Amino acid sequence: MTFTFIALLWFTIQVAQTSQLAIRDPEIDWASIVSSHGDHFPDFSYSGYNNSDTSLPTINHHDIVLSLPRKVTDDIAPAIQEAIDTVWENGGGVVRLPPGKLYITAGMQLRSSVVVTGTGDRGTTLILKRRPSKAVFTLGRLGVAPKADFGFRSKIADAYVPIGASTVTVINGTGFAVGQHIYVSRAVTESWIRANGMSDLVRNGDPQQWIPVGKQIMAPNTIKAINGNKITLKIPLADNLDLAYMRAEVRAYTPPELTSEMGIENLRIEVRDTCSGTPLDNTTCNYAAVKFASWTVDSWASGLTLTGFNKFFEIQRDASRITIQDSTMDRNKDIDGSALPSDIMIRGSQVLIQDCDQVGLDSARSFSVLTDSLTPGPNTVTRYTTESSVQTLEPHERWSWGLLVEESSAITKFKNRGNMGTGHGWTMNAGVGWNLPNDVDFSSPPLGVNWCVGCGRQNEPRGNATFIQSGHQVRPRSLFAAQLKARGVQWYHRREDKNGSDQ
């Protein structure tokens, strides 16, 4: 009798433990998740350098090695720029900076096929002699961005095209060609604004405009195949198209000359007289350490430690296929006032932010990663950590779409910001949170959907978004890695490398 009781007790404990394990790490069939309108997750695997089809180039050589200046405190920026220009004029290559502390001023420009790197394990420190009145490093062209030249266009005939769809039907497909750059474009209508609850925003008695009627919402893409009037896109749509509210179209375009294959890595960059905490209207302290200019593609920043900036990275509109990884941002002073700066500002598309962290003053407020108005997806933030308890990772304003945030420690919010600012309203559609353990606030706009899977293990998630397996860590650990694998991309093992766990 005693033996039977003990055996039964052991069996009960084992079943309970197995059940707990199953609940703690449930397997999610992410590809089968679908909304009532047929919307699937965007394919975030296209985020990053070369659409993440390949890893970043490995830099193990140099073409120019700078020497130390005669005087330690001399500005070495002109010498760095001269080296960049020389390498570029000779077809591209690597500029390696010497170890130690070097003094610089802001305003250096990288050109196509040029990489700037430090020596050793971040053994090169660049110290700004004065506060920056421009970006320290700009990857791509300076000045006002040129415009694209538009070509053939045709209306989309489908009544509804869901998020995640790869094919659209146009009225006339004769003017399109495989490999052509296109925008999937639609003009904002009053009915769409009203249906999303954004037509009556008021702040302090004054009406606020969310998005102007007639404003074009434009998602860049490439034509993969054409079959009559059916166009297959290279990247599945990261937003939905509803003929009841907007008449979408496909617009061919020719971009201006693209700048590409630029990288900056393995450096420390410091603002000696810190810019962290500077009010946003300050004209000398709100420029990024690293800026990816418009029409910059297939470029990266890796292995950087940035200290004392008010904005650390900026990806401008029409920049795409950008990777920022393995970088630390040290915000060492809180800001005065309620308008908050951002660590990373995304205006471009197909951007991958991975394994970055924010350190410094715990009470220093900011947006960890921020998308601006009408920022097109897909974009991905994976494994972003912050030591601050007051930072938030959230889209900022006016209908961005297609953002994945996974395994981040920052408070994450995809929501209606209402009359904040000048009427920020709904900030995100087709957004996905994945394995977010801390506070989350996710809501879906009336004409869209946001998801949060494996969210809120510390606190109950808030909002009306589609929540799946709340309070549990789910498998796969990384949706981004799982989508890459599903697309047939085999090189990415960063998830395994960092934590010894599956993807």
Q: Do domains 46-141+258-393 and 149-254 have the same CATH topology?
A: no
pLDDT tens-digit series, residues 305-351: 999 999 999 999 999 999 999 999 999 999 988 889 999 999 999 99
Domain ranges in the chain?
46-141+258-393, 149-254
Q: Which pair of structure tokens corresponds to residue 466?
A: 């589609």
Indicate the pairing of strand 249-254 with strand 149-155.
antiparallel
Q: What letters, b where the CB count within 10 A reaches 16 and e where it falls short, cover 141-173?
A: beeebeebeeebbbebbbeebbbbbbebbbeeb
pLDDT at residue 24, rounded to an integer: 65
- The pLDDT of residue 336 is 82
CA-wise closest residue to 83 among 104, 49, 57, 108:
108
**pLDDT above 70: percentage of residues in the chain:** 93
d(CA 7, CA 13): 10
d(CA 483, CA 486): 5
What was the pLDDT predicted at 361? 92
Beta-carbon count within 10 A of 404 CB: 28
What is the pLDDT at residue 500? 39
- What confidence score (pLDDT) does residue 493 get? 86
Count of positions (residues) in the chain:
503
CATH class in words for 149-254:
mainly beta
pLDDT in tens, 142-199: 999 999 999 999 999 999 999 999 999 999 999 999 999 999 999 999 999 999 999 9
Q: Provide the pLDDT confidence category of residue 412 given band limits of 50, 70 and 90.
A: very high
CATH architecture of 46-141+258-393: 3 Solenoid (2.160)
499 confidence band (pLDDT: 50, 70, 90): very low
Contacts 24+ apart (CB under 8 A), 72-75: 72/101, 72/103, 73/103, 73/129, 74/103, 75/103, 75/104, 75/105, 75/129
What local confidence, expressed as pLDDT, does residue 466 receive?
A: 98
